[in-house]
Structure 1
Amino acid sequence: MTAVILATVCAVVYGTADFFGGLASRRSQVLSVVALSQIAGLVLILALLPVLPGMFGGLALSWGMLAGLAGAAGLALFYRALATGVMSVVAPTTAVTSAALPVLYGLATGERPGFWALAGVVLALGAVLLVSQDRSADRTGSVGSALIALAAGAGFGGFFILLAMAPADSGLWPLVGARMSSITTVALLALLTRRALRPGAGSLHIILAAGALDMAANVLYLLAERQGLISLVAVLVSLYPASTLLLARKVLGERLRGIQVAGVACALGAVALIAVA
């Protein structure tokens, strides 16, 4: 039950971080938002190290750095897919792939969730598909953008799997390694593309909030994964688009389509099924 609670809260925090990141991206260049939010996350995780101590070691940092590279690659591919395709294809493809890979990994390594938990997994994957539908996009996405979206989802799924492979007694050190490698990757990308990382006017506080929330969600994921099965935790975490939608409805006044409301309902049902399993 502890893992279910942590993973569900993690999904809410991830969705909130994405909401703030989306707001910031309307005022600043995407690369600036990514770089500065990543730095904010690193500051937070360094501050949390004394609170949630763990065993420092090269193995923890190594797995974390690999996870950070996978996550950074996933993010770059995700934005590339959005640039060449449509959200209604890219978002659900990426989200479901990022959830499905940890499920397959968990099953392959011997995890055996109960019947109702598996039913919750199926319902959760369906919920991600429903809530990710974009009402403003057409349906003419290219095959190329769909393939890039699959690769982006693989990057995000790899981030979850690689973090789970770090030693259980390593505390938050894997996240330190992940953030170090992702910041380095983004900085090199900015250098190669000769893009300034200066944030737009009035956006810095939003970017910092997005980075802090994203790292808080990473911490919650790591704690949840150590308490439960990755095949269930990662699926619950993948429900984060539901909280982004609800925030957009509450704060920005955006209207939800019927299919998205059904997706939110399915997400709640999935959490309930996994919790009682």
Structure 2
Amino acid sequence: MVSLLALASSLVWGTSDFFAGLASRRRPAVAVVGWTQGLALLVVSSIVAVRWDTVTFEGWPWWSVAAGLSGMVGLICFYSALSSGTMGVVAPIAALGVVVPVVLGVASGETPSPWAWVGMVVAIIGVTLASGPELSGDVSVRPVVLASVAAVAFGLALFCLDRGARDSALLTLWGMRITSVSILLVVALVLRNVGGVRPREVPGLLVIGCGDLGANFLFGIASSRGQVSVASVLGSLYPVVTTVLARVVIGERLRRVQQVGVLLAIGGACVIAL
């Protein structure tokens, strides 16, 4: 069940990221992040309000703040890197952020089985290859640096989300959104700009925000019931989903290295699940 929840989170994350990527071609990355996070905050706040009699403020708040800051930085850097660099360079670097929660999980006492280690290594290699690594040509420094920052930020966000979800997955998500939206709201007020988003774009951004919210929730439940080192690898298969959607929906051609990566990622996930 834990493996299925983590895999489901990668499916939802990958779908959400695909449509967020399309939105980022029309609007600034920070605007897409701000609107999707803000709309998701309205949704999760309404759920928390209904369950307010069960709300406690023990354990999860600091983890949620850390996860919210890390996740926001990661998204902004990732979308900015995609808009200014080669996707074949940026995506594999960002995908390697999964190493962070694996290392932190093991350092905090987790002991994955030998077969789980095999599956995790194969899956990480598969995700990196499925992202379409650029093996030739000049590479600009700026997108590489941004993608590296995004990788570390994403990894820290997953680990902090796991720790907060052990007290409450719902409240951790609520705290994450409050943290990120508060900062982005201040930025919007200072710049006096909401990114040029029009009313007709709001429903699509709402769906993207809810998708990211749902993926976070699924991952939080999976990691809090199992090992964050294992759940983070399964949850981080989302680039495979995004890559396949790009092929099916907008006709992006999958290179041979990506096809091999998809098969390796699926194979690694199967080894972990079994």
Could you state the TM-score of these two structures normalised by the residue count of structure 1? 0.89
Percent pairwise identity: 37
Moved more, 52-61 or 157-166: 52-61
> Structure 2 regions of 5+ residues with no counterpart?
none
Give the AA of the match of 1:103. V
Query: Can you list the C-alpha shifts for 1:87-141, whole angstroms capped at 9, x where unaligned?
Result: 2222111111x20000001111111111111011101110111111167x96322
Q: Paired residue for 1:188?
A: 186
Cα distance in 1 for residues equivalent to 2:261 and 2:179:
34
Q: Paired residue for 1:154?
A: 152
Residues 189 and 26 (structure 1 numbering): CA distance in 2 closer, same or farther, change over 3 Å?
same
Deviation, 1:82, is 3.7
Cα distance in 2 for residues equivalent to 1:213 and 1:32:
17
Residues 83 and 210 (structure 1 numbering): CA distance in 2 closer, same or farther, change over 3 Å?
closer
Cα distance in 1 for residues equivalent to 2:165 and 2:200:
41
Cα distance in 2 for residues equivalent to 1:229 and 1:167:
12
Asked whether the equivalents of residues 70 and 157 of structure 2 are also in contact (C-alpha less than 8 Å), the reply is yes
Partner-residue secondary structure (3-state), 2:110:
coil
Moved more, 4-13 or 24-33: 24-33
Asked whether the equivalents of residues 57 and 170 of structure 1 are also in contact (C-alpha less than 8 Å), the reply is no
1:1-277 correspondence runs (5 A): 2-49=1-48, 50=50, 55-82=55-82, 85-96=85-96, 98-133=97-132, 139-166=137-164, 168-200=166-198, 202-276=200-274
Query: Can you list the C-alpha shifts for 1:200-245, whole angstroms capped at 9, x where unaligned?
Result: 4743222111111010001101110111100010011111011112
Residues 19 and 108 (structure 1 numbering): CA distance in 2 closer, same or farther, change over 3 Å?
same
* Number of residue pairs matched by the alignment: 273
> Structure 1 regions of 5+ residues with no counterpart?
none
Cα distance in 2 for residues equivalent to 1:253 and 1:29:
24
RMSD: 2.3
Deviation, 1:74, is 1.6
Asked whether the equivalents of residues 74 and 156 of structure 1 are also in contact (C-alpha less than 8 Å), the reply is yes
Asked whether the equivalents of residues 117 and 273 of structure 1 are also in contact (C-alpha less than 8 Å), the reply is yes
User: Which has a greater percent of helix?
Assistant: 2
Partner-residue secondary structure (3-state), 1:166:
helix
Deviation, 1:263, is 1.2
Deviation, 1:83, is 5.1
Moved more, 156-165 or 251-260: 251-260
Cα distance in 2 for residues equivalent to 1:265 and 1:40:
35
Residues 138 and 204 (structure 1 numbering): CA distance in 2 closer, same or farther, change over 3 Å?
farther
Give the AA of the match of 1:177. G
Cα distance in 2 for residues equivalent to 1:250 and 1:263:
17
Give the AA of the match of 2:27. S
Asked whether the equivalents of residues 56 and 170 of structure 1 are also in contact (C-alpha less than 8 Å), the reply is no
Could you state the TM-score of these two structures normalised by the residue count of structure 2? 0.90
Residues 184 and 167 (structure 1 numbering): CA distance in 2 closer, same or farther, change over 3 Å?
same
Query: Can you list the C-alpha shifts for 1:142-191, whole angstroms capped at 9, x where unaligned?
Result: 34543332222111111111122226232411111100111112222333
Asked whether the equivalents of residues 14 and 213 of structure 1 are also in contact (C-alpha less than 8 Å), the reply is yes
Asked whether the equivalents of residues 53 and 171 of structure 1 are also in contact (C-alpha less than 8 Å), the reply is no
